[in-house]
Amino acid sequence: MANLKELSKKEELFTGGHRLCSGCGAGIIARQVLLACDKPVVVANATGCLEVATTIFPFTAWKVPWFHSAFENAAATISGIETAYNSLKKKGKVREDINFIAFGGDGGTYDIGLQALSGAMERGHRILYICYNNEAYMNTGIQRSSATPKGANTTTAPSGKKSTGKVQVRKDLTAIMVAHNIPYIAQTTLSFQNDLITKVQKALSTAGPTFMNIMQPCRLGWIYPPEETVRLGRLAADTCIWPIYEVTNGEYKLNYKPKEKKPVTDWLKSQGRFKHLFSPGNEGIIKQIQEDVDKNWEKILSLCKA
């Protein structure tokens, strides 16, 4: 596991003073990821909250080489950078070992960036792709994405007299990455700092493409007090809404199992985006959400025991 005491002595490569919302989890994730880097690192960042709010010209919060990609092609950008580096290293023009990391939100990863991500994973580039997953297109107006959970209220799947929010269940992108047969995939939240940093270190030391799906509570789109971000990340794991696990060369390992599995109502009540589900007549939706969570949790447990 990562030594958090030693990490606290390292230089911060992601600085304060950026324009991310108060309580935003994206900055917490970026800071933890860069603290895990022991070698020089190059970052590609898809358009999104993290990119927009940390690089308002002429300022930047990044103290590493950083490239802005379009919404859909961060994986392709970092693949090209890694390929150029390999060519230069073969020619003897570069000698040091460098890590390559791409950051993308769920919109730029689950949806419009999926083809670039899939291609990069299939080609075998030695990169780490990190999805900071706030479960909607938060930067452009809180529109639903395929990472948005069932029942959530968004601007393009609003709750009202004729709708109860998003009707579809969210896509399991972590499982899709496992299906690519890459050497390392991990799922976590920003609330488990040691777990997150340790997984980044594992990913960066792996010879081949790696992927991390990190749940990132969004105080704006989820509607909760900004000081609750870290608590919500932990609650996601305690309700088994978001299992904490990793897959190394096809072998599953559970990294966190709550002592007492909390009901999904604890999770839903903590956020304004689910407020409508507690109106009379929506009891069946909450029951279905609980059943879906239970089914997925049992699936993960069985895979981790296999």
- For 56-107, the pLDDT digits (tens) are 999 999 999 999 999 999 999 999 999 999 999 999 999 999 999 999 999 9
**For residue 43, pLDDT beyond 90:** yes
pLDDT value at position 209? 98
Report residue 44's pLDDT band, with 50, 70 and 90 as the boundaries: very high
Average pLDDT for residues 271-278, to the nearest whole number? 98
What percent of the chain is modeled with pLDDT above 70? 100
CATH code for the structural domain at 4-305: 3.40.50.970
Q: Between the CA of residue 189 and those of 33, 84, 108, 196, 296, what are the distances in Å?
A: 12, 32, 18, 7, 17
**For residue 165, pLDDT beyond 80:** yes
What pLDDT, in 10s, does the model give residues 119-131?
A: 999 999 999 999 9
Place of tokens 């939706």: 285
Average pLDDT, the chain: 96
**For residue 306, pLDDT beyond 70:** no
Report residue 266's pLDDT band, with 50, 70 and 90 as the boundaries: very high
* CA quadruple 27, 187, 272, 259: dihedral sign: negative
SS3 state of residue 222:
coil
Place of tokens 């379009």: 70
**For residue 208, pLDDT beyond 70:** yes
Q: What is the pTM of this model?
A: 0.97
Domain boundaries, the chain: 4-305
Q: Is residue 30 a contact partner of residue 50, using CB atoms and an 8 Å limit?
A: yes
Report residue 9's pLDDT band, with 50, 70 and 90 as the boundaries: confident
Q: Identify the H or E element spanning 245.
A: strand 244-248
